[in-house]
Structure 1
Amino acid sequence: MANKNSPVKGDLKMATVAKRPREENVEQFEQNIVNVGTENKIHCETRAKSFLKWFSSNDENFFSDKVTIGPDGSCAQNGMIAIKDIEEGECLFQISRKILLHPKTCSISKLLEKDPLNSENGWSELLICMMHEYHDQESLWKPYFDVLPKSVELPMFWTKDEREQLLTGTGVLEAVKRDLDKIHKEFETVVSPYIKKHQGVISPGCDDLDLYKRMVSYVMGYSFTEPPKDDDSEEEEEEDEEEKSVIYMVPMADMLNHIAKNNAHLSFKPDCLEMVSTKAIKKGEEVFNTYGELSNWHLLHMYGFSEAYPANIYDTVDIPLDIVLDIAEEEAENKEFARKKLAFFKQKVMEELIGDIVVGTNGILTEDRLYMVLKVMEMSPSQFAIYEEECEEGWEEDLDEDTSALTEFDKMDDLSQSWKTVISRSASACLKRYTTSLQEDEEKLKQTKTLNSHQQYSLHLYYGQKMLLQKLINACK
């Protein structure tokens, strides 16, 4: 799956102003937003024009006269707007592969080829070449770096207190901690020593953790990974493995913002990449790409934004398997036998990592997993003995049963009451992990204009997750 661009192109200045004002200062607060917004818009327009001039100077690129780029999109920085009606299937712009930024096209490509980075992280070479090009005033990609935001508002750049206050219970908090640990370790053990080793070739100023983190945010929010080719032979697949794993920075493609119901798509061609409209787009409408079928959890973690409920049709929420197992044990009549099955599961979970239960907008997405757990937990001793024996040579998840009743909320009425009780209690337990209630969230939603971007996107995230859990609870009544 490709990493796509981040629509969150807001700056810290805007986030600072957009804090909740005291009631007596509302008019001044609103005027401040207008002033900052106007200043930011002029700055963005200037940078966007310079970038478009650079992009169009390459004869192998193409930019349609039906679109433009600038700060009139759905976010604080740049987006793409239709200035004429666009039909389905039109090419909006074409990008030569020569201006894609990655280790094989950057100006230190020979160094990276001669002395490859000893890292398991597929991003590190790209990050080093980005830092080098960023500091090189003669770099081919200088106009590209100039148009990128000075700060990508990813949660890893929020304060620790802010993350704990706004993201507890969502799963993003733990993911950010893992990211930061990996970033610091990779920089200290791999990237910094490599830069020091080649300080005569790599641009001065690159041995900088803050710059490295900023480049990480660009890769997280703006990079693309080319989809695998449909190779027929295993030999061809092995030969192309290295090429498939290349991550690109793609100037212009990352100007588009994202919504789940997008109207454009990036197509990879042998010599170029093309952005093509997937439906008719009216004059004045924004052109949106898609970063994939991503939940709000992934959008906020990787790109720094989320969609308001129920706009994101791909939104999900996880129910830890441990919670389901513990509640299934509590609901069992034979506690001792339930604990035996619980131990069996936890051993298998640890060994096979079968994962948590994922709830989507229409029902359970990992329905086979949940069905298997509930089915085994209700087995009689004789049934479980047979099943346990069958599992001795390997973990068997498929019980060859119809799991469709779990795939849609509307069908869950057909489940047994014991199953509905376990599911409902598990969802209710997950609601307790958040720091606010649904009622409190709904009050905040009425006041979104008084919230800064971090507060708004976090609210959209955890409110959407809670609504999915509540839908599951209601379906199991």
Structure 2
Amino acid sequence: MATAAKRPRVEGASGGGDDPLPAFLDWCRRVGLELSPKVSVSREGTVSGYGMVALEDVQRGELLFVVPRAVLLSQETTGIRSLLEKEHRALQSQSGWVPLLLALLYEYLAEDSPWKCYFSLWPPLSSLQHPMFCFQEPLEEEEDEKEPNPPMMVPAADILNHVADHNANLEYSPEYLRMVATQPIHKGQEIFNTYGQMANWQLLHMYGFAEPYPGNTDDTADIQMATVRAAALQGATTEAERRLICERWDFLCQLEMVGEEGAFVIGREEVLTEEELSATLKVLCMPAKDFRELKEQDGWEEDDGEDSLTLTNKTIPKLKASWKTLLLNSTLLTLQAYATDFKSEQELLCNKAARAQLSWREEQALQVRYGQKQILHQLLELTSS
């Protein structure tokens, strides 16, 4: 729970002073939330706010802490559980988070809430920089067709900060949730969980922060599908060519490969929407005769050779010249849509004095933009070779 602002200490809590941490740790002991003696909750040595730090070397697979299910805060454990069950139909939503949000509001305001010491570590609800991290228990493989499990709050687990290269992971069992080290952690290192494979723009949108470049190996950049169409039309020299491109685009829409609001997602090492982008490049760049045959046949035929290459950093330079040209022009159009240029932001990232003048939100937005532009410039190099 990365933030500098915290709720005032719990009255009567042990430890005295304004630090709510002693009361929280005492609460953990009372409710059976067991922390390993090798770890410590601290604000020192963490990337932001409260976090967890290794007091000794930790080996891969070691247990960091155990959270009994009775300690979890959810629509099943809140004091208004019966009311939420009674109003179940009225509280239904696509996300399934409405009952949890109501439970959080009730318990946060209740003077006798069992989670009061837990709440003392939270930022004020008026702070929007770092939203709370809610966990959602994964379904078993055979349950994938069912609705997702409702979200829940996991004390201690949500203290851990996030990085893409995390060193701990939450495991689920019928009676407990266990945080386990996924790689060796040296004494003094921070223990990081993962909030999921998220690009920086997703982290900023959902959790209020971006991982500084180049830390987020899950970062992505979008090329709007409509931008690829614009790049293709840009290369048309006659009205007949423009009509043919529009016809090909309509065909891709019918195949549900593209859409007016869609985007192709480019990762650091590969294209994440590979099928859609490959189909788009193929259809927009193929000879007119091949396009007519494609429209007449049922479905797609398996391709060999160049058309069947996966779209990775190693294979993109091997694409047909027409494919690379269209992808390059689409990337250039995408970069032109940014209000700032890549070089100036690169210089700003290297200038500590200038960055110190940025607000928190400006710094996070800079990290998002720079990471995206870095991926797009890498794509320019790949398609220029």
- Normalising by structure 2, we get a TM-score of 0.87
Q: How far off is 1:47 after superposition? A: 1.4
Separation (CA, whole Å) in 1 of partners of 2:192 and 2:73: 22
Q: Give the gaps of 5 or more residues in structure 1.
A: 1-6, 13-41, 158-216
1:32 corresponds to which residue? Answer: none
Deviates more, 1:443-452 or 1:128-137: 443-452
Q: How far off is 1:353 after superposition? A: 8.2
2:112 corresponds to which residue? Answer: 138
Of 330, 336, 359, which residue of structure 2 is paired with 1:432?
336
Of 132, 140, 146, which residue of structure 2 is paired with 1:229?
140
**Cα displacement string for residues 213-240 of structure 1 (whole angstroms, at most 9, x for unaligned residues):** xxxx43xxx1101111122xxxx777xx
Separation (CA, whole Å) in 2 of partners of 1:117 and 1:44: 45
Q: How far off is 1:146 after superposition? A: 1.2
1:49 corresponds to which residue? Answer: 22
Percent sequence identity is 34
Distance change in 2, residues 1:401/1:224 (3 Å): farther
Distance change in 2, residues 1:133/1:237 (3 Å): same
- Normalising by structure 1, we get a TM-score of 0.71
Code of the residue aligned with 2:100 in structure 1: it is L
User: Aligned-residue CA RMSD in angstroms?
Assistant: 2.7
**Cα displacement string for residues 304-358 of structure 1 (whole angstroms, at most 9, x for unaligned residues):** 1111222111110110111112212332463332232123334555997894211
Alignment of 1:38-117 (within 5 A): 46-59=19-32, 61-117=33-89
Of 4, 19, 31, which residue of structure 2 is paired with 1:10?
4
Decide which structure has greater helix share: 1
Of 288, 310, 321, which residue of structure 1 is paired with 2:225?
321
Q: Is the 8 A contact 2:46 2:53 kept in 1?
A: no
2:364 corresponds to which residue? Answer: 457
Q: Is the 8 A contact 2:162 2:193 kept in 1?
A: yes
Of 379, 385, 397, which residue of structure 1 is paired with 2:286?
379
**Cα displacement string for residues 10-39 of structure 1 (whole angstroms, at most 9, x for unaligned residues):** 349xxxxxxxxxxxxxxxxxxxxxxxxxxx
Separation (CA, whole Å) in 2 of partners of 1:368 and 1:388: 18
1:269 corresponds to which residue? Answer: 173
1:206 corresponds to which residue? Answer: none
2:10 corresponds to which residue? Answer: none
Structure number with the bigger relative contact order (C-alpha 8 A, sep ≥ 6) is 1
Separation (CA, whole Å) in 1 of partners of 2:126 and 2:195: 16
SS of equivalent residue, structure 2 residue 53: strand
**Cα displacement string for residues 341-399 of structure 1 (whole angstroms, at most 9, x for unaligned residues):** 123334555997894211100132222211111111123333223322346xxxx5775
Deviates more, 1:75-84 or 1:444-453: 444-453
Q: Give the gaps of 5 or more residues in structure 2.
A: 7-14
Separation (CA, whole Å) in 2 of partners of 1:43 and 1:153: 25
1:168 corresponds to which residue? Answer: none
2:374 corresponds to which residue? Answer: 467
Q: Is the 8 A contact 1:372 1:398 kept in 2?
A: no
**Cα displacement string for residues 93-118 of structure 1 (whole angstroms, at most 9, x for unaligned residues):** 00000011111110111121223251
Alignment of 1:123 with 2:123, yes or no, is: no
Alignment of 1:370 with 2:342, yes or no, is: no
Q: How far off is 1:404 after superposition? A: 6.3
Q: How far off is 1:85 after superposition? A: 1.4
Code of the residue aligned with 1:377 in structure 2: it is L
Q: How far off is 1:245 after superposition? A: 1.9
Q: How far off is 1:460 after superposition? A: 0.8
1:147 corresponds to which residue? Answer: 121
**Cα displacement string for residues 26-74 of structure 1 (whole angstroms, at most 9, x for unaligned residues):** xxxxxxxxxxxxxxxx999821221111111113x31111111021143
Q: Is the 8 A contact 2:78 2:107 kept in 1?
A: yes
Distance change in 2, residues 1:325/1:237 (3 Å): closer
Separation (CA, whole Å) in 1 of partners of 2:320 and 2:159: 50
1:331 corresponds to which residue? Answer: 235
